[in-house]
């Protein structure tokens, strides 16, 4: 975490750490549902992190995708996801393309999305570093190891080591190809959007820096981190033992 800090050893053969009974992979949704939900999460992320706000956010590309899925009879598994996207856009005061309104009525927002919206303007995060370490259950041939956190008033930064995945930047038009989706919730019930800050890779593995918005609750003592892949999802919980950053 900082120069001179003692090493943190992680058992790579372990199925998880920080949680007594880490849950195994759960069934994932359809590719179409994943694509629409990814677009919604991108919108939610922009509502929290966008420096210029949301007035210019354009959902026309998503509307074109939904129109194409409807035309080939492949939208039904994703119709609820379209409803969630419509509800989120309405909550944020955006203009919703007619194609999206025709495809689904506004649905119910997941608790995680509502929680992020309720706390997106918070600036009350603790200041410190937590040398946490935990192994997430393997997903799709990839292994992630949580390697510590830093927290500031407006956000937190999560360090993650990764093996078995060739990194590639994924844009909205390729949302269905996005291999991983992240979410986090602290023990005070505050949900967090997780976005990639930076990444470095070599033949032996990689190092991800992930940003968490809104910030961690000032009284949080543990953090639950979930990664979702094509075959399911895995969750691990780590304690937050804050130390003064160096």
Domain ranges of the chain: 31-109, 128-239
pLDDT at residue number 52: 54
pLDDT per residue as tens digits for the range 68-95: 999 999 999 999 999 999 999 999 888 8
pLDDT at residue number 96: 92
Helix (H) or strand (E) holding 114, with range, is helix 111-119
- DSSP letter at 69 equals H
* 136 exposure class (CB count in 10 Å sphere: 0-12, 13-18, 19+): buried
Say if residue 176's pLDDT is above 50: no
The answer to whether residues 105 and 84 touch, using CB atoms and an 8 Å cutoff, is no
Distance, in Å, from the CA atom of 193 to the CA atom of 115, rounded to the nearest integer, reads 10
Q: Binning pLDDT at 50, 70 and 90, where does residue 175 land?
A: very low
Task: For residue 89, give both structure tokens.
Answer: 């856009």
CATH topology of domain 128-239: Immunoglobulin-like (2.60.40)
Name the residue with tokens 């304690």: 239
* Mean per-residue pLDDT over the chain, rounded: 81
């Amino acid at each position: 975490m900082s120069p001179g800090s003692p090493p943190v050893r992680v058992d790579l053969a372990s199925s998880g750490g920080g949680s007594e009974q880490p849950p195994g992979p759960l069934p994932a949704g359809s590719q179409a549902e994943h694509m629409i939900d990814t677009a919604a999460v991108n919108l939610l992320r922009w509502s929290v992190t966008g420096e210029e706000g949301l007035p210019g956010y354009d959902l026309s590309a998503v509307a074109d995708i939904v129109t194409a899925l409807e035309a080939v009879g492949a939208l039904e598994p994703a119709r609820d996801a379209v409803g969630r996207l419509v509800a989120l856009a309405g909550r944020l005061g955006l203009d919703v393309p007619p194609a999206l309104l025709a495809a689904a009525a506004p649905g119910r927002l997941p608790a995680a999305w509502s929680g992020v919206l309720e706390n997106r303007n918070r600036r009350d995060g603790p200041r410190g570093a937590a040398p946490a370490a935990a192994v997430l259950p393997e997903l799709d041939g990839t292994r992630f190891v949580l390697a510590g956190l830093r927290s500031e008033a407006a956000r937190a930064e999560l360090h993650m080591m990764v093996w078995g995945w060739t990194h590639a930047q994924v844009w909205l038009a390729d949302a269905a190809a996005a291999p991983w989706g992240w979410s986090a919730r602290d023990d005070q019930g505050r949900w967090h959007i997780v976005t990639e800050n930076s990444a470095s890779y070599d033949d032996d593995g990689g190092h991800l820096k992930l940003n968490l918005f809104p910030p961690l609750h000032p009284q949080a003592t543990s953090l639950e981190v979930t990664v979702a892949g094509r075959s399911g999802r895995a969750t691990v919980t780590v304690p937050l033992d804050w130390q003064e950053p160096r």
